[in-house]
Amino acid sequence: MLEEQPSAADLDLIAEFEPRFEMLDANSLVALAENAPLGDGGVHASNLLAQALEKDPHNHAAHLLKEQLHQMFVPRWHFPMLADTVRNQAYAKAIAAKVQPGDIVLDIGCGAGLTAMLAARAGAKHVYAIEGQPLIATAAKQVIADNGLSDKITVLSKWSHELVIGEDLPDRADVVVSEIVDSNLLGEGALATLTHAMEHLAKPNARAVPESGTLKAQLVESAALRNQYRPLEAEGFDLSAFHKFANVAQVTPNDSAACGLRPLGPTSDLFHFDFTRPDMSHGKTTLPLFCTTMGTAHAVVVSFDMVLAPGISVSNDLNTDGHWGRFSYLLEQSTPVSVGSQVTITAQHDATKLSVSIHDTTPAERPIIWQRGVNSRSTFAPVPEATTSWFVPDTQETPSSERPVH
């Protein structure tokens, strides 16, 4: 499949020949899909494959290409997110608390349409559900229609920063709903998206779900996690020189249970973000993480608390088992600790990325900085600083957890 944006001439050609596609056999349609430009978000290729499978429901190439297309454009994290009942119930309660009869609601990054339907159920006059990925937007329209809410919800297949009041929305929104955060809150471009939305698309003093989020850090012990990412040897061979490539462990909920992450002390707040009045200011903090029990420190886990409405929040800390993963920043050395021990870290963000630098835990060590990129298109590359750096892709689940900027 080609990835360039189709030109106006391409689109005209597609429109001209589309009626003739019905005369082609399944293999010919698959061949066209293989060479279809993907700048339209995969819509034309998807239509061709649907036609191919109508003609031959068991066409091997069509099934493979369809799955490849869906993996590319419909990130896999959507499905565990929709199955996260704690998250869903919290959003349902928060939206019910915030939405009032007669409200215009803007739902940014609507995905399958769940939060938009929750807003409609809560009494909104109308909900404008924004979804930049056209395949997902089309599916959301069908989900909303299946639930009898098409008269209450308009799905717009575009990015929120492209919206124009008076054209896309009749007026500014009374409520802005979103769930565009990753495991470290920043990786989906939430601050940039919400800064624009609250300034240009929402009424003064508009309500927002979520209201705020706080990033926090905590020392943990987990020999299983360290051995998984930094095995000391295999079949008697020393592997330590390879460990430089494994500095950040992306810990899924299943991994957390398997690795038995044991907290060695309380969480410490790193940064607080106000989503009702967001801005793009950068932040930096250096602070000690304290131990309240004996053990061996293997990693620093970063998690979040997110307030959706007063008294209603969601979290991905070690006491939860929702769909969000956690990022664990591995210490260079396993470090024995006791009550009162501390490990100092420096955390920084530029409103789109988070970096965590663990200070020396032994006199011989040098600090290592791990910086996580905005999305899964990021590549590993050195950062021009005094210490060695790695960019880590923004992924929640391999291979397709890229969460788009809205």
Give the CB-side neighbour count of residue 31, counting CA atoms within 13 A: 6
The Cα-based distances of 295 to 147, 148, 304 in angstroms read 53, 56, 24
Q: Is residue 200 part of a domain?
A: no
Q: In this structure, are 61 and 88 located in the same domain?
A: no
Q: How many CB atoms lie within 10 A of CB 240?
A: 10
Q: Is residue 402 part of a domain?
A: no
Q: In this structure, are 105 and 40 located in the same domain?
A: no
**So what's the pLDDT on residue 403?**
43
Q: In this structure, are 221 and 360 located in the same domain?
A: yes
CATH number, domain at 153?
3.40.50.150
**So what's the pLDDT on residue 381?**
33
- Helix runs in 150-285, H state only: 190-200, 223-229, 253-259
pLDDT at residue 14 is higher than 80: no
Peptide bond preceding 367: is omega within 30 degrees of 0, i.e. cis? no
Q: In this structure, are 110 and 64 located in the same domain?
A: no
Distance CA 341, CA 283 (A): 26
Q: Is residue 406 part of a domain?
A: no
Q: In this structure, are 86 and 69 located in the same domain?
A: no
Mean pLDDT value of segment 285-298: 96
Distance CA 266, CA 303 (A): 12
Mean confidence (pLDDT) of the chain: 86
Distance CA 374, CA 376 (A): 7
The Cα-based distances of 299 to 219, 224, 232, 268, 379 in angstroms read 6, 11, 16, 14, 24
**So what's the pLDDT on residue 360?**
80
Domains contained in the chain, number = 3
pLDDT one-digit tens code per residue, 94-142: 999 999 999 999 999 999 999 999 999 999 999 999 999 999 999 999 9
Q: Do residues 3 and 37 lie in contact, with contact meaning Cβ atoms separated by under 8 Å? A: yes
pLDDT at residue 342 is higher than 60: yes
Nearest 5°: CA angle at 228, between 226 and 234?
105
**So what's the pLDDT on residue 321?**
84
**So what's the pLDDT on residue 388?**
33
Token pair recorded at residue 32: 């066209």
**So what's the pLDDT on residue 373?**
44
Q: In this structure, are 44 and 136 located in the same domain?
A: no
Question: Please, which pLDDT band fits residue 22 given cuts at 50, 70 and 90?
Answer: confident
Last residue of a domain, one of 16, 38, 73: 73
Q: Is residue 278 part of a domain?
A: yes
Q: In this structure, are 242 and 347 located in the same domain?
A: yes
Q: What pairing do the DSSP bridges indicate for beta strands 202-209 and 173-178?
A: parallel
Question: Please, which pLDDT band fits residue 250 given cuts at 50, 70 and 90?
Answer: confident
Q: Do residues 179 and 154 lie in contact, with contact meaning Cβ atoms separated by under 8 Å? A: no
Distance CA 270, CA 290 (A): 14
Question: Please, which pLDDT band fits residue 12 given cuts at 50, 70 and 90?
Answer: low
Q: In this structure, are 253 and 347 located in the same domain?
A: yes
**So what's the pLDDT on residue 192?**
94
CATH number, domain at 378?
2.70.160.11
Mean pLDDT value of segment 182-194: 91
**So what's the pLDDT on residue 237?**
93
Question: Please, which pLDDT band fits residue 256 given cuts at 50, 70 and 90?
Answer: confident
pLDDT one-digit tens code per residue, 31-42: 999 999 898 999
pLDDT at residue 13 is higher than 60: no
> Residue 3, SS3?
coil
Residue with tokens 């349609």: 29
Mean pLDDT value of segment 245-266: 87
Last residue of a domain, one of 27, 51, 73: 73
Peptide bond preceding 210: is omega within 30 degrees of 0, i.e. cis? yes
Last residue of a domain, one of 46, 73, 100: 73
Q: Is residue 124 part of a domain?
A: yes
Range of the domain at 330: 212-392
Closest CA to 313 of 188, 209, 403: 209
Q: In this structure, are 238 and 132 located in the same domain?
A: no
Q: Structure pTM?
A: 0.83
Q: Provide DSSP, 220-239.
A: EE-HHHHHHHS-SEETTEE-
Q: In this structure, are 170 and 48 located in the same domain?
A: no
Q: Which residues of 169-204 are buried (b: 16+ CB within 10 A; e: fewer)?
A: beebbbbbbbbbbbbbbbbbbbbbbbbbbbeebbee
H or E element that contains 265: none
Q: How far is CA 109 from the centre of its chain?
A: 11
Distance CA 276, CA 263 (A): 32
pLDDT at residue 363 is higher than 70: no
Q: Is residue 218 part of a domain?
A: yes
pLDDT at residue 398 is higher than 80: no
Q: In this structure, are 329 and 222 located in the same domain?
A: yes
Q: In this structure, are 13 and 138 located in the same domain?
A: no
Q: Name the more confident of 223 and 377.
A: 223
Q: Is residue 185 part of a domain?
A: no
Question: Please, which pLDDT band fits residue 404 given cuts at 50, 70 and 90?
Answer: very low
Q: Is residue 404 part of a domain?
A: no
